[in-house]
Amino acid sequence: MNLEPSLRYSHTIMSQIIKSGDNVIDATVGKGNDTEFLSKLVKESGKVYGFDLQKDAINITKQRLAKSPLNNTKLFNVGHENIKEYVKDKINGAIFNLGYLPGGNKNIITRPKTTITAIQACLDLLEKNGIIILVLYYGHPGGKTEKNSVIAFVKSLEQKEYSVLEYKFINQVNEPPILIAIQKK
Amino acid sequence: MNLEPSLRYSHTIMSQIIKSGDNVIDATVGKGNDTEFLSKLVKESGKVYGFDLQKDAINITKQRLAKSPLNNTKLFNVGHENIKEYVKDKINGAIFNLGYLPGGNKNIITRPKTTITAIQACLDLLEKNGIIILVLYYGHPGGKTEKNSVIAFVKSLEQKEYSVLEYKFINQVNEPPILIAIQKK
């Protein structure tokens, strides 16, 4: 077997930690890959809250999920900086794909300020042993600034309260995504 | 489940990649934890070559392995910079614990020059899909210098030939070990 790329490893970690009945957030719905993945992990007794500013992302993902036998997902066509207004439950996990949508329009990107507001909202809602995954794409204009802001923010998290793991390939010229995993102690 | 500390994750990766019958190197035998672990992974049809400059390390590990039903380990009381003189087989994996022996004497440390010679020797012997794991302890005098040298070296490895993964916890003040995994493509 090969060392897992960051995106695949994000699913490995989620599979190890998220269980049937959990509440989770997909903070960047995009094409719904993670939304669908999380929906299957938490099963019918769990809940998935999905956020995306782009109307198309919400529509594509709604169509995709319509084929699923599970009915556990709520999608919101608002930016993830509004999470606190829409999610009142405690959560066991959240996923962010930051930067641009791979294969999508590189002009539509996440921004440090709203990203960090959203991560903080998820931290405030997070149960003990819960996990927040960030997959950071940064090979676009503004990408390095966002990456640096986000990494400075997560590095500052109190080690008594959180473990913050960084997982990245360091000999590649094409800036493959970096995985950050934050687990609440 | 919790995010795995670097040392534990080093065993997870090894378990996923190393099989019965493989040839592997423990480049820093110490108390024989990894030697014994590798011996069990490669089973009777495999081989483990262990290196340590310290006579005590070799003796402790010989006693430890004497209790094992497996007879697949050769221990050498020489520094790992001599690997090429002792190992003529191709290998599927190698483990290095760099820095000092946790719980041991912090004055007895590995050094960048011999470390990099040894890593290069393992790279030269490595089969396709084989893996070299480095666990870097650096909370000791000279530790940061070694860490920086080793990371600069592995970052420079050609991405067409190797994947180089860095796995580390980034919000901890006590400088927990960093895991580097190098897989040959």
3-class SS letters over B70-105: CCCEEEECCCHHHHHHHCCCCEEEEEEEECECCCCC
- Does residue B2 belong to the interface with chain A, where contact is any CB pair within 8 Å? yes
| Residues B127, B129: Cα–Cα separation, whole Å | 6
Whole-prediction pTM value?
Answer: 0.95
Does residue B26 register a pLDDT over 90?
A: yes
Q: What is the CA radius of gyration of chain A?
A: 15
Q: What is the mean pLDDT of chain A?
A: 95
Residues of B in contact with A181 (CB under 8 A): 3
The band of A174, judged by pLDDT with boundaries at 50, 70 and 90, is confident
Q: Give residue A109's pLDDT.
A: 80
Average pLDDT over residues A131-146: 92
Does residue B87 register a pLDDT over 70?
A: yes
Does residue B62 register a pLDDT over 90?
A: yes
In percent, how much of chain A has pLDDT > 70? 97
Contact A167, A13 (CB under 8 A): no
CB within 8 A of B125, min separation 6: which ones? B25, B83, B84, B87, B89, B90, B91
| Residues B23, B87: Cα–Cα separation, whole Å | 10
Q: Give residue B99's pLDDT.
A: 87
Q: Give residue A74's pLDDT.
A: 98
Does residue B157 register a pLDDT over 80?
A: yes
Find the range with the poorest average confidence among B48-62, B65-79, B91-105, B137-151. Answer: B91-105
Residues of A in contact with B168 (CB under 8 A): 165-166
Tell me which DSSP letter residue A70 carries. Answer: -
Does residue A103 register a pLDDT over 90?
A: no
Find the range with the poorest average confidence among A6-15, A105-114, B133-142. Answer: A105-114
Does residue B107 register a pLDDT over 90?
A: no
- Does residue B128 belong to the interface with chain A, where contact is any CB pair within 8 Å? no
Does residue A101 register a pLDDT over 80?
A: no
| Residues B182, B13: Cα–Cα separation, whole Å | 11
Our CA-based measurement puts residue A184 at a distance from the nearest CA of chain B, in whole angstroms, of 9
Token pair listed for B75 = 């221990």
From B13, B157, B172, residue closest to A159, measured CB to CB: B172
Cβ distance B3 to A163 less than 8 Å, yes or no, reads yes
> In chain A, which among 60-119 make CB contacts under 8 A with chain B?
none
- Count Cβ atoms within 10 A of the Cβ of residue A127 and give its class: 0-12 exposed, 13-18 middle, 19 or more buried: middle
